[in-house]
Chain A
Amino acid sequence: NAGVTQTPKFQVLKTGQSMTLQCAQDMNHEYMSWYRQDPGMGLRLIHYSVGAGITDQGEVPNGYNVSRSTTEDFPLRLLSAAPSQTSVYFCASSPLHRGQNQPQHFGDGTRLSIL
């Protein structure tokens, strides 16, 4: 079972470059989200979506854009990368219809360095 797949696993960017982090899930989950994790810290929510066409901001949304055109995919875009965005990014998904206590499934992360 693929679960939540994130690509790429590693990326190095220069300041000012743009890129898209990909996230795909094959479990037909309505809820998807993006977190970032900085050294020694817990995960912080960037953006989330409760279904195709619906997105909302999390705790640290500045510098990031998202869209949700299909149930399966939830890409995260960095329009102009900054060194402060160096982090490990995790995508997660869960079903909505069985309530908020459903376990969230996480990908293995994208390790992003901005020089």
Chain B
Amino acid sequence: DAKTTQPNSMESNEEEPVHLPCNHSTISGTDYIHWYRQLPSQGPEYVIHGLTSNVNNRMASLAIAEDRKSSTLILHRATLRDAAVYYCILRELSGGSNYKLTFGKGTLLTVNP
């Protein structure tokens, strides 16, 4: 699996936007970019995914660089409930049956009231 690099930690204030970066310089053309988050004492939770175009859903937006070597998860208005570890994961869309998610250490987001 291609590798991703994320900052260990980031801090934000409540109700402000948060931009969580992820570098993936060895991404291949068939790799999708997925984001999960893990709230304290809970299992990971799917946030969003994309391939080339920017994506929006009710939780967040995903901005993907034109060369696809980096992406940014955007939380438009951080709340205290968004404090979590955020994982950027590359998934190869292959014909096999391996649905494995390869988790790194992620970014610990702290949201200040």
Contact across chains for A101 and B49 when beta carbons are under 8 A apart: yes
**Residue of A at shortest CB range from B85?**
A42
Shortest C-beta distance, A95 to chain B (Å), equals 10
Count of chain B residues near A, Cβ 8 A:
24
Not counting A42-B102, A101-B34, a sample of 7 additional A-B residue pairs whose C-beta atoms are within 8 angstroms of each other reads A42-B103, A42-B106, A59-B100, A92-B101, A96-B99, A100-B91, A100-B93
- Residues 79 to 100 of chain A near chain B (Cβ within 8 Å): 90, 92, 94, 96, 99-100
Contact across chains for B43 and A48 when beta carbons are under 8 A apart: no
Bits for B32-43, please: 1 = Cβ < 8 Å to A, else 0: 101000000111
Distance in angstroms between the alpha carbons of A105 and B36 in the assembled complex: 10
Contact across chains for A100 and B105 when beta carbons are under 8 A apart: no
Q: Chain A contact residues (Cβ within 8 angstroms of B): what range?
A: 20 to 34
Is A107 interfacial (CB 8 A cutoff)?
Answer: yes
Cβ contacts under 8 Å, B32 to chain A? 101
Bits for A27-59, please: 1 = Cβ < 8 Å to B, else 0: 000010101000011111100101000000011
Shortest C-beta distance, B81 to chain A (Å), equals 16
Shortest C-beta distance, B48 to chain A (Å), equals 9
Distance in angstroms between the alpha carbons of A96 and B99 in the assembled complex: 9
Distance in angstroms between the alpha carbons of A99 and B105 in the assembled complex: 26
Contact across chains for B43 and A100 when beta carbons are under 8 A apart: no
Bits for B44-58, please: 1 = Cβ < 8 Å to A, else 0: 111001000000000
Is A108 interfacial (CB 8 A cutoff)?
Answer: yes
**Residue of A at shortest CB range from B95?**
A100
